Amino acid sequence: MKPVGPLMWEHRLIEKMLASMMTHVDKIEKSKIVNPVVIDVAVDFVRMYADRTHHGKEEEILFRDLAEKNLTPELKKTMQELLDEHVWGRKTTAMLVAAKDKYLQGEEGKLTEIIGLARELGNFYPRHIEKEDKHFFYPCQEYFSKDEQEKMLAEFWEFDRKMIHEKYNRVFDEYSKLSL
């Protein structure tokens, strides 16, 4: 199996989750009421799965190894665009959380911002995924030998194995700070 395989499987789950999120956003728009759990679950998914786990493998393994290769100018440009898009996704997700928090504090006007930011994320990721799947992943694999690909795949599995521990160490850190 090539390293792009697991990355593309992850894309399929991200697409399904974002489609579901967009359905929830439609309901929020119609009802004019935000269920904070809906936003929290979507944010957790985007932050932990799409960004930390999926983008983590891309940035900390694939892109790191590609940086050592003599990429074409087009692939270098695309890789930088992808990195910039990852940053945009993080910032937009943080803005969504901030808008939700202010909404819960009584700022009803944040409803429109919540809907807008959630839609931006829901519309952004399919385009980002298409760029990776159709224009980046496969050409990049040509730069790696079979051994390098196998090593990368093993590193992906090890990266994933550590994610649950990283997440729940963070959960504990936040939980232990709560004042009850």
The 8-class DSSP code of residue 70 comes to: -
Structure confidence by residue, pLDDT tens digits, 37-49: 999 999 999 999 9
Structure confidence by residue, pLDDT tens digits, 136-157: 999 999 999 999 999 999 999 9
CATH code for position 17: 1.20.120.520
Across 118-127, average pLDDT: 96
**pTM score of the predicted model:** 0.90
pLDDT of 179 strictly over 80: no
Question: Is 180 a domain residue?
Answer: no
Question: Is 176 a domain residue?
Answer: no
Structure confidence by residue, pLDDT tens digits, 87-101: 999 999 999 999 999
Question: Is 150 a domain residue?
Answer: yes
How far is Cα 32 from Cα 25, in angstroms, rounded to an integer? Answer: 10
pLDDT of residue 7: 97
Query: DSSP string of 98-154?
Result: HHHHHHHTT-TTHHHHHHHHHHHHHHHHHHHHHHHHHHTHHHHHTTS-HHHHHHHHH
Please state at what angle helix 4-31 crosses helix 110-135, rounded to 10 degrees.
160
Amino acid found at 29: E
How far is Cα 45 from Cα 52, in angstroms, rounded to an integer? Answer: 10
Contact predicate 41/162, CB 8 Å: no
Q: Of 44, 10, 18, which is closest to residue 160 (Cα–Cα)?
A: 10
Question: Is 53 a domain residue?
Answer: yes
Percent of the chain scoring above 70 in pLDDT: 99
Q: How many C-beta atoms lie closer than 10 Å to residue 165's C-beta?
A: 9
Structure confidence by residue, pLDDT tens digits, 62-92: 999 999 999 999 999 999 999 999 999 999 9
Question: Is 129 a domain residue?
Answer: yes
Q: How many domains does the chain have?
A: 1
**Mean pLDDT across the chain, nearest whole number?**
94
Question: Is 155 a domain residue?
Answer: yes
What length does the chain have?
180
Q: Is 99 exposed, middle or buried (CB count within 10 Å of its CB: 0-12, 13-18, 19+)? A: buried
Question: Is 23 a domain residue?
Answer: yes
How far is Cα 51 from Cα 124, in angstroms, rounded to an integer? Answer: 13
Residues spanned by the domain of 157: 4-169
Question: Is 177 a domain residue?
Answer: no
